[in-house]
Structure 1
């Protein structure tokens, strides 16, 4: 499997790893559990199905490494804010059971244009969000009105024109990371999510730190923006 790179961020307790999905051995699909295989079978488009399988396999192997467990002993237990946690659910916030017990691991995962980014903290109770964006995908008319607050539009106006699409992608990655951190996803109006809060009070009354992930440091190619959000103290 091609692991592009590893970087420890945010007070040395968040592990962030990038994966090129085409480099993940598709034979690893055999290690997925029944819920993951069932979801893969519903994906009609072959490249999309391939990337789904690669992403789930890479995430499983990374989690097994962090937990010092055998990959086949992990059972996906994703938690959806609408549906709740369930050992057979294959959507929502990633999580695993190990030998029937919820793993003490907080996980966030994002895919974009053939690449994936995973973040993990060795404590299940720590809110965490990571997001990966392809810069070119956000270069469309109307983005600013649906995604940016008035203050963010003002910040954007001060950015050199040739750098604005990269700024937009970085801002959107931060918003998505914060939305995942909150557990609500984009049920919240994205214009109300402050992409550049510094350190502020998070949704659970704890301090949240959101930072850009430097592509070169985790092995992502040029053309991507990424961010991670995590609680820094109780």
Structure 2
């Protein structure tokens, strides 16, 4: 089933992925309905442990609760120090893909291989200051690369254009990888990210701080379509 969801993620690209961290958790089903009505095809979940990053968010119960109310792929970003400890519970809760941070592990190749055995999509993420060469060992085992345009777990940061360089390099060297970007994505930055070869665009404030989700997502999609690819 998760591999089917991974194919749905591939088929959705280029696509806006609402980051549920900013949604109204007191009305989670209502938020899902609004996002579905706005045309959302993939949902993004940011899991933070208070250790690898300073913030603490949510765990398996939220993933499981979401899965009960939607068939959309759940793209889970593990900003945690021990991704393998939680990988199986997350997969069993309904995650479609699990993305770990290369900075959080000693052996990215091993981690990617063990997550792949769970039957979910495998992603690896890297922060702006982390060189692409740190991914070399695990790239043959992952389905997607999440390029951070801000440091993971810290709010209020400006978009770092080094992410665009990384995306362009990855698109040229690995044309079949799904490429994702997260951090400061809005109507101004999403077009350049698409032009650099990105497929999936994680968006928080530019959706959830707007009154009309449909209008917000439509504006972002228009910027994607207008990119010079």
TM normalised by structure 2 equals 0.31
Structure with higher strand content: 1
- The structure that has the greater radius of gyration is 1
TM normalised by structure 1 equals 0.31
Structure with higher helix content: 2
